[in-house]
Structure 1
């Protein structure tokens, strides 16, 4: 393979310029939090949904706390935190999305071929260092799955997927400010 020195001389400065421009546009720390922001308190999220999943509140609360404590330099605080995150789970629903019918069944039975799990969470975010960034928002996400799954399989796998997506949205809105 032949090496073209002239092409390299032209492209190298362009690559360098692109890196400098990108670095100026985006902080590679990935955080938009003020350096003065050092502590966080994330209260438990109670499950106030009509349909109850007995493990949902604890699982969601633990997962969101772990996300912030493991992926930021923030330290947990029991009182007077720089950042306060609290809220509640307001909806947990499993609904049919795709209907199938059993052709040979008497009466033409209709059943769900796929179901959808939807979880909705209200979040109150308070930033004492930068109060203008504080907000109250509702986050929701869903996962579609086969109707063949039993309730234990749904709660073991699909709930984890939906929780992860909601926590990603919350984390990005607070830390990455996307």
Structure 2
């Protein structure tokens, strides 16, 4: 083997190994089927007993944003390869640590979302499940931190839903 063919060999072998794969994989851990190109996200209505006016819009947009940022899927209104739909079933603010003066030292903000994901390409990957996440706020001034906490909870919820739909966790 001459010097040029050895160099070509050592350049081609890593390239061949790097380009071989078992489907589409992303560094986010998602394993989206190669045939899946589109997904639709329906508006998640707020059916919680305690209603926060913009929670439905915030959650729906957070889920769309998660899909845009962590996949190459296009979001369409209908006739998609995958469809997310559901509703917010619970929103609660509850004290979890009360002092001797009956003042909340910590408060838990919790959101529960019921999600139905339909995979039009492989029905076995479809699911219907509830997801719950919460954060705890220190101190008694919960209202000033509420919107920030909702954003954090939405981030956790959308990560759970994305992983369930596309990483099979």
- The TM-score with structure 1 as length reference comes to 0.77
Query: After superposition, where does 1:157-168 map in structure 2 within 5 Å?
Result: 157-168=148-159
CA distance in 2, matches of 1:132, 1:26: 18
Alignment-derived partner of residue 53 in structure 1: 52
Structure 1: which 5+ residue stretches go unaligned? 1-19, 102-108
**Residue 127 (structure 1) aligned with residue 135 (structure 2):** no
Distance 1:26 1:115, change over 3 A: farther
Deviation at 1:73, TM superposition (A): 1.1
The CA deviation string for residues 41-74 of structure 1, in whole angstroms up to 9 with x for no partner, is: 0001111101111111110011101111222111
When Rg is computed on C-alpha atoms for both structures, the one with the higher figure is 1
Distance 1:26 1:149, change over 3 A: farther
SS class of match (2:51): coil
SS class of match (1:119): strand
Query: After superposition, where does 1:24-173 map in structure 2 within 5 Å?
Result: 28-29=25-26, 30-101=29-100, 109-151=101-143, 153-173=144-164
Alignment-derived partner of residue 9 in structure 1: none
**Residue 174 (structure 1) aligned with residue 138 (structure 2):** no
Aligned length: 149
CA distance in 1, matches of 2:46, 2:140: 26
Distance 1:36 1:25, change over 3 A: closer
Q: Which runs of 4+ in 1 moved over 3 A?
A: 23-28
Structure 2: which 5+ residue stretches go unaligned? 1-16
RMSD over aligned Cα, in angstroms? 2.1
SS class of match (1:54): coil
